[in-house]
Amino acid sequence: VGAMAHFRDVLGGRYNKPGEERFEELNEGEWYIQRPRWNSNMHWVIPWNEVARKSYLRALGKNGFDDVLESMGTGMGLEKLTCFHNTFLGLSQADDSNMHADFYETQRSSFDFLAPIIMANTTKPELDLQSQDGNIIVGVKYQYGVAVVMGDWTYHKSAAADYTAQNEIRVVSSIYCSDITEENRKSIMKMYKEEAPAPFKHLFDMPIKEKHWAHDGTKLPKPPKASEGTSTGTNFNLIWPEGS
């Protein structure tokens, strides 16, 4: 979808300042770029208009994410899933990053899927997960083709890292999907604070009109046949942190 060249440029030295944001036209649509106020040079690249949002969804559909949604939807006994907040997260340096959870009281129906797109040449874990009592931190090593799944109350952060000496970066795809209902919609939307804009709040309007998985065979959109090209052949597997 055209964001990877941006990450190599920005993380190569043209950093945003902490809290700084801007909008850019990339290959497909308008994208929102922000560096949060964390102890890292992490940047978020988020689809901002419908063209960009649909391009992200088509990329997911092209590369096998329907199988992930099918597995989660049926395994968790859900009615449907809508992927409402899709982001690229990139960094080349992190100290003590921000421990946080993406979802809280959503009735075990919301998930953040983290899948690496670009990884640095390191053997160290890149993601820290916190135990329920807060006393244990477990490091997770990303793997290509494997998505880490985090649900309600899964506290996590980027592990300490510094890839600047070897001029490398790490980019992860973050995909928020929920079975949005009248009972949980307000809880899900609490994630949208000052540093997490929500250009697509209409996806929460009831009844839910846009679904990306459902029992009736609903799936993610796919690229037009003429522009499909060669699929990356990505097959997603899932890592499910205990307690999620």
Q: Six-digit token pair at 161?
A: 């890292």
For 10-20, how does the pLDDT look when each residue is reduced to its tens digit (9 = 90+)?
665 566 788 88
Report pLDDT for 38. Answer: 82
Report pLDDT for 16. Answer: 75
Global pTM value = 0.86
Contacts 24+ apart (CB under 8 A), 127-135: 127/156, 127/157, 127/158, 127/159, 128/99, 128/156, 128/157, 128/158, 128/159, 129/154, 129/155, 129/156, 129/241, 130/99, 130/155, 130/156, 131/243, 132/243
Report pLDDT for 238. Answer: 47
Report pLDDT for 226. Answer: 53
- Please identify every stretch of the chain with a pLDDT value under 50, giving residue numbers as ranges: 229-235, 238-244
Report pLDDT for 10. Answer: 64
How far is the C-alpha of 127 from the C-alpha of 155, rounded, in Å? 11
| 237-239/146-150 β-pairing | parallel
Output the CA torsion 3→49→20→139 (10° steps).
-50
Report pLDDT for 229. Answer: 47
Report pLDDT for 196. Answer: 54
Report pLDDT for 12. Answer: 57
